[in-house]
Amino acid sequence: MTDPTVIDRPFVDSPFIDRIAELAAEYDRSAAFPAESLRIAHEAGLLTATIGERYGGRGGGVADTARILHSLGRLDPSVALITAMTLNTHARQAAQPHWPEELYARVVKESLERPVLVNHARVEPDLGSSARGGLPATRARRTADGWAVSGTKRFVTGADGLDWFLVWATTDEAEPRVGTFLVPGGSPGIEVTDRWDQLGLRASGSHDVTFREVEVPYEHVIGIGPHGPAAEQDNRAGAALHLPLAALYLGVARAAQSFFHTFAHARVPANLGHPVARTERFRRTAGEIEVVLAAAEQLVFDGAAKLDAGDTSYTPEQALGARVLADRHGVRAVELAVRLLGNPGLARGNPLERHFRDIQCAPVHAPQEDISLLAIGTKALNP
């Protein structure tokens, strides 16, 4: 299996990639948009790795995306999460073209010149996660030239720097339709109305965004159609797309493990006279951390490879299960390190404290564990 702890060199063109890790602590403290880190990621070719070959891109698959996000997760998971949203957009377009052809060609051209960030805006204050179904309250009003989109979306990762918001909305027609409206980031009427101030991934800029009569050309809509099961997010069929997200948080856990090892070798209590790394207590915990992370990575990266190979025996439920276990194992690994280090592990300014906060975000992403287990259990009971 390809070593998941490093990015494949064909996807890394910048010798400055490690600079992202150096910037991570300050971005975490300030919660500022990580523009410099994203510029480095762009120069390394990471933001465009999944652009399809038909569009002149590298055509990176699920395994490539997982390796990229795993490595960026070790450096700065906020940067990794913003990157993930853009990579996922390009991957979906490569697999099944659905953007207006001329518009996507423009996005690709600009993406090769500078960082171009894209993300969906789906979650709403009343609706919650779209993974649980429901009709979006955001409305697209038909106008003479296209649509006017109005509504509020929550947790829009990278909001301050997005070039395109993919806004999930309901039309105001007599028979409402639901679709994704392609909204340029600089459009009049877009406002960040509640800033992200969470425990972890503080630089991800996952703000609440309000759209007030934002104009969208008529043809800049994708997937529009009647509302119903087919129009809602399909948690089972889309589960495989979340393997790279699981890899991202395993990268956070690997960063925590790295600090744990450094601490263990550097800490020499006076009553011991040698590093705590030589004690049975630390060696046993180091072993448990390695076991849970290696097992999770095996599940995630092997699953990603099977998807790329078109292995039809690999089911959506297996991908969901890999995601559930990877999240559990990543959280568990970091908790073990923090518990053994005690107060030093929770000291502000300590990288482990930041990794502990960031890893708490792993189980929050849709589909959440209860939805995943429901799908897995339903399949198990009704094979």
CA distance 112 to 58: 12
Q: Are residues 377 and 315 in contact, defined by beta-carbon separation less than 8 angstroms?
A: no
Share of the chain above pLDDT 70, in %: 91
119 in the Ramachandran plot: left (φ > 0), alpha (ψ -120 to 50) or beta?
A: beta
pLDDT score recorded for residue 245: 96
**For the residues 5-19, what does the mean pLDDT come to?**
60
Give the orientation angle of helix 243-266 with respect to helix 62-75, to 10 degrees.
40
Identify the weakest region by mean pLDDT among 3-17, 75-89, 104-118, 347-361: 3-17
pLDDT, tens digit (0-9, with 9 covering 90-100), for 140-149: 999 999 999 9
Tokens 């390190």 locate to: 337
pLDDT score recorded for residue 16: 82
Confidence of residue 366 (pLDDT cuts 50, 70, 90): confident
Greater confidence (187 vs 233) lies with 187
Q: Are residues 1 and 31 in contact, defined by beta-carbon separation less than 8 angstroms?
A: no
- Supply the pTM of this predicted model: 0.93
**For the residues 353-371, what does the mean pLDDT come to?**
95
pLDDT above 70 (res 2) = no
Instruction: Report the 10 Å Cβ neighbour count for 52.
Output: 19
pLDDT, tens digit (0-9, with 9 covering 90-100), for 218-242: 999 998 877 544 334 454 446 557 8
Share of the chain above pLDDT 90, in %: 84
SS3 assignment, position 221? strand
Rounded to 5 degrees, φ, ψ at 23 are -85, -15
Rounded to 5 degrees, φ, ψ at 203 are -95, 5
pLDDT score recorded for residue 210: 98
pLDDT score recorded for residue 359: 98
pLDDT score recorded for residue 238: 66
| CA dihedral angle for residue 154, residue 155, residue 158, residue 163, rounded to 10 degrees | -30
CA distance 155 to 365: 11
pLDDT score recorded for residue 367: 87
Report which secondary-structure segment, H or E, holds 148. strand 146-156
Report which secondary-structure segment, H or E, holds 139. strand 139-142
pLDDT score recorded for residue 208: 98
pLDDT above 90 (res 15) = no
pLDDT score recorded for residue 230: 39
CA–CA distances in Å: residue 300 to residues 66, 101, 204, 309, 325 = 8, 33, 23, 14, 9
pLDDT score recorded for residue 233: 46
**Nearest of 117, 195, 129, 99 to residue 158 by alpha carbon:** 117
Confidence of residue 12 (pLDDT cuts 50, 70, 90): low
Cα–Cα–Cα angle for 298, 301, 307, rounded to 5 degrees: 130
pLDDT above 70 (res 325) = yes
Q: How high is the mean pLDDT of the chain?
A: 91
Identify the weakest region by mean pLDDT among 49-53, 66-70, 120-124, 366-370: 366-370
